[in-house]
Amino acid sequence: MDNNKGYFLGKNAVVTGAASGIGLALCEELLAQGAGKVVLADINDENLRTHEKRLERQYPGQVKGIRCDVTKEAEVRRMIGEAVALLDGRFDLLVNNAGLGLSGMFTPIASDKNLSEKLKLRVQTNDDWEKAFAINFYGALYGSRAAIKVMTPQGGGQVVNIISGIAWSPMAYQTMYAATKAALNMLTLTLRYEYWDENIKFNSATPGTTLTAIWGEVGPPEGAQTAQESARKILKGVAKNQRLILGDKGDEEGAPHCFDPSMEEGLDDYFINVARVRRGGKLTI
Ligand SMILES: NC(=O)c1ccc[n+]([C@@H]2O[C@H](COP(=O)([O-])OP(=O)(O)OC[C@H]3O[C@@H](n4cnc5c(N)ncnc54)[C@H](O)[C@@H]3O)[C@@H](O)[C@H]2O)c1
């Protein structure tokens, strides 16, 4: 049983990156908590159709999958338009969840010429950086903009942007992931205040370290929680309209420490150690 006091009862939602992992779990949890209709949006058509069919059997008439590449604003606008028509004209909640993990090297490292090979990480180009921002930052920006357009005339709504604890944890070889998610966090928090008086709620949410495909071959670190656990934590914060929803203990501790000047030395020690361990070949820490 959820503790969200019926917050999601009858609400209509769109979730991006919904064909896998946390996005899929968010859809399942929303439906389990009494949501009205849920639109799953994803670029992976095969997974999308599989889960659309499965969920539609369980919740007839409440589920729809729409293929959408969130890096293209026209596609996001079209997807939201189609979704709103399916949602009987009422669009209560958008979760901009689609995202990629994006590890890599900023430049070659002069003192260790074989590092890229050893870590199996590519040196990232400007093209890689543009693609990273396109998915992890602009995807959510386009979604937020399209949602505002629909939510304003209906008198309000809620937009949740999925960031990551990496937004305040400068982990070596994850420059792109950290930069895109930190940017998305500030976009979201700023929109929260710009649209507060329009009754459109914005929330920034970290899922916490979660067992999903995003970890690829490397695999998640020990203690990763399930996507269902992350989804429940996120929805708890959404129901409370928390400005920053923190998905696990690590994020709860990391967020307040990040910019605390009294912790500078400890933070340096910690993140220098992470960089060295990673340089040694162990990427998951
Ligand atoms: N898993 C974790 O430990 C963790 C931790 C912090 C933050 N996050 C964030 O959670 C979100 C979900 O990640 P996940 O772990 O469930 O990964 P995942 O790989 O299981 O799911 C990501 C989904 O996004 C979709 N996607 C990728 N590119 C897309 C595009 N251009 N348009 C539309 N959909 C696209 C993929 O097809 C996939 O279904 C991401 O934003 C990620 O950064 C995850």
DSSP H/E element including 224? none
Report phi then psi at 201, rounded to 5: -90, 135
- pLDDT at residue 80, as a whole number: 98
- Identify the pLDDT of residue 178: 97
Using CB atoms within 10 A of its CB, is residue 189 exposed (0-12), middle (13-18) or buried (19+)? middle
Mutate to test the pocket of ligand 1, among 14, 15, 16, 20 (most ligand atoms within 8 A of CB): 20
Residue ranges of alpha helices (H) inside the chain are 21-32, 45-58, 73-86, 115-119, 126-133, 139-154, 175-194, 227-239, 249-257, 264-279
Average pLDDT over residues 93-99: 98
Q: Which atom of ligand 1 is nearest to the CA of 98?
A: 24
| Ligand 1 pocket, CB under 6 A | 16-17, 19-23, 42-44, 68-71, 97-100, 135, 162, 164, 206-207, 209-210, 212-214
Among all residues, which ones are annotated catalytic? Answer: 177
Please tell me what DSSP assigns to residue 134: I
Residue 261 amino acid letter = P
Angle of CA points 207, 6, 62, to nearest 5°: 80
C-alpha 141, offset from chain centre: 12
Q: Are 53 and 60 in contact (CB under 8 A)?
A: no
Q: Which two three-digit tokens encode residue 69?
A: 């590449």
Distances (CA, A) of 198 to 93, 110, 150, 155: 15, 52, 12, 7
- 13-279 domain in CATH 2.60.40.10? no
**Mean pLDDT throughout 227-250?**
98
Q: Exposed/middle/buried for 122, CB within 10 Å: 0-12, 13-18, 19+?
A: exposed
At 1 the pLDDT is 52
Q: What is the pLDDT of residues 55-81, one digit of tens each?
A: 999 999 999 999 999 999 999 999 999
Contact 154, 197 (CB under 8 A): no
163's CB contacts (< 8 A; 6+ apart) are 181, 182, 184, 185, 188, 204, 205, 206
Of all protein residues, the one whose alpha carbon is nearest to atom 43 of ligand 1 is 99
Say whether pLDDT at 146 is over 90. Answer: yes
| CA separation, residue 17 to residues 92, 94, 100, 245, 259 (Å) | 18, 12, 10, 19, 30
pTM (2 d.p.): 0.97
Q: Cα of 19 to ligand 1 centre, how many Å?
A: 9
The ranges assigned to domains in the chain are: 13-279
- Give the containing element (helix H, strand E) for 196: none
Best probe residue, ligand 1, of 214, 225, 244, 285 (max atoms within 8 Å of C-beta):
214
The SS3 assignment for 99 reads: coil
* Tens-place pLDDT, residues 173-211: 999 999 999 999 999 999 999 999 999 999 999 999 999
What stretch of H or E contains 243? none
